Structure 1
Amino acid sequence: MSVQLWTWILVGITFALYFGIAIWARAGSTKEFYVAGGGVSPLANGMATAADWMSAASFISMAGIISFAGYDGSVYLMGWTGGYVLLALLLAPYLRKFGKFTVPDFIGDRYYSNTARTVAVICALIVSFTYVAGQMRGVGIVFSQFLQVDITTGVIIGMAVVLVFAFLGGMKGITYTQVAQYCVLIFAFMVPAIFISIQMTGNIIPQIGMGGRVEDGTYLLEKLD
């Protein structure tokens, strides 16, 4: 079979897996739709959050900006990594404890202010649209390469897939599809990282290899810059 046919088969299996998870985890109540019923384990939540971080923005765009900008491009990586940590430590626990479904609801009730709620809504919309635009562009590029369609068609396919399983499972379905995505992405990240580290520095652990020297005696970070 041709590479293109294998690509269609693998993409089809992935879609079937996501739709299967959405049907299995379909929401049966408002609480399940918005906050997955509060029954998702910390491990699964962590995997889902990591998958969100390792999405098109980092998997495609971050590789591109480091490739073009060199070592200076890694500043962007540290920026939104730090943002995720701050969000997880300073906001998420209190949002969960407060029992609200959205950040604007939490801020509005916490500060007893409809003005604060409105500002939070506007900020959430701006951030969401900006992030989704980048994500959908990444989806369109990936589908255009693998499915041999134009970028616009790729974006439409990606949006349709997300729309279907979001409607079926809500936050519960999205969380578990993110867990599946995490397993795929962490494998796709780690395999090349491990083998590049072995080939260039002899270390099987990439984090150690990053501080090591290559065959000509220079540090790997200097070589990569």
Structure 2
Amino acid sequence: MDLQTLTYTVVGFTFALYIGIAFWARASTTGEFYAAGRGVHPVANGMATAADWMSAASFISMAGLIAFNGYGASVFLMGWTGGYVLLALLLAPYLRKFGKFTVPEFIGDRYYSRTARIVAVICLILASITYVIGQMKGIGVAFSRFLETDYDTGLYIGMGIVFIYAVLGGMKGITYTQIAQYCVLIFAYTVPAVFISMNITGNPLPQLGIGSTMADGWHVYAGQA
């Protein structure tokens, strides 16, 4: 089997898996569509959230931004990750407690203010547009490379797949699809890091191998000598 056929097979299997999950977990109530029925296990929810962080916006766009702009661009990574933590600690639990489906709805009722609701809507739209731009750019680039098509075609294919499982399953379908993506992404993140660490330092644990290299630079200088 040549590389292109293998690529089509793997990508096709992945698409089929995501669409199958969407059919299996399709939402039948408003609560399931907007909040996955509020019955997702915390571990599964954590996996879905992690997959959302390790998405095209991080895996391609954020990595490219840091690689292109250097160390200074790491502040975007800190803000990106810190924002997730703040939302998880300060907003998500109370959104669930209040029984609301959207952040503006919660903010408006929590502060008894229509103005606060409008501000929340504006902030949400700005944040979502910024996030979606990175996601769509990553989808278009990845799919065009894997499927050997032009950028626009790759983007439309990716958007179509996302549209299918988002519309069918709502938050319930997206959550379980994200869990499947988490398994793929954590493997894609971990394996290269392990082999890079082994190649540079001989230690399979990047935190110990590459961390010590960055700390004192001894391995780098020893390799150049």
Q: Shared fold by TM > 0.5? A: yes
Mapped to 1, the partners of 2:126 and 2:69 lie a distance apart of 27
Distance 1:219 1:42 in 2: 41
Q: Give the ranges of 4+ consecutive aligned residues of structure 1 lying more than 6 Å apart after TM superposition.
A: none
- The residue that corresponds to 2:134 in the other structure is 134
Q: Deviations over 1:13-38 (max 9, x none)?
A: 00000011001101111100000000
The one-letter amino acid of 1:126's match is: L
Give the match's secondary structure for 2:172: helix
Q: Which residue of 1 aligns with 2:208?
A: 208
Tell me the residue number matched to 2:46.
Answer: 46
Q: CA RMSD in A?
A: 1.7
8 A contact 2:7–2:147 mirrored in 1: yes
TM-score of the superposed pair, with normalisation by structure 1: 0.93
Residue matched to 1:169: 169
Q: Which segment is superposed worse, 202-211 or 93-102?
A: 202-211
1:52-201 alignment runs, 5 A limit: 52-201=52-201
Q: Distance in 2 between matches of 1:163 and 1:50?
A: 21
Q: Residues of 1 paired with 2:217 and 2:31: CA distance?
A: 58
Shift of 1:133: 1.5
Letter in 1 for 2:189: F
For the 8 Å contact 2:22–2:166, the answer to whether it is kept is: yes
- Deviation of 1:90 after TM superposition, in Å, equals 0.9
The answer (yes or no) to whether the contact 1:211–1:219 under 8 Å persists in 2 is no
Per the alignment, in what secondary structure is the counterpart of residue 64 of structure 1? helix
Q: Can you give the 5+ residue segments of structure 1 that lack an aligned partner in the other structure?
A: none
Query: Percent sequence identity over matched residues?
Result: 70
Q: Distance in 2 between matches of 1:161 and 1:211?
A: 39
Please identify which structure carries the higher helix content: 2
Q: Deviations over 1:151-176 (max 9, x none)?
A: 11111111111111111111000000
Q: Which residue of 2 aligns with 1:8?
A: 8
| Alpha-carbon distance in structure 1 between the residues aligned to 2:217 and 2:127 | 44
* C-alpha spacing 1:107/1:219, structure 2 compared with 1 (3 Å): farther
Deviations 1:16-74 (A, max 9, x none): 00011001101111100000000100001000000000001110122222322333332
Distance in 2 of aligned mates of 1:119 and 1:79:
21
CA contact (8 A) 1:35 1:101 kept: yes
In structure 2, relative to structure 1, the CA distance for the partners of 1:217 and 1:161 (3 Å cut) is: closer
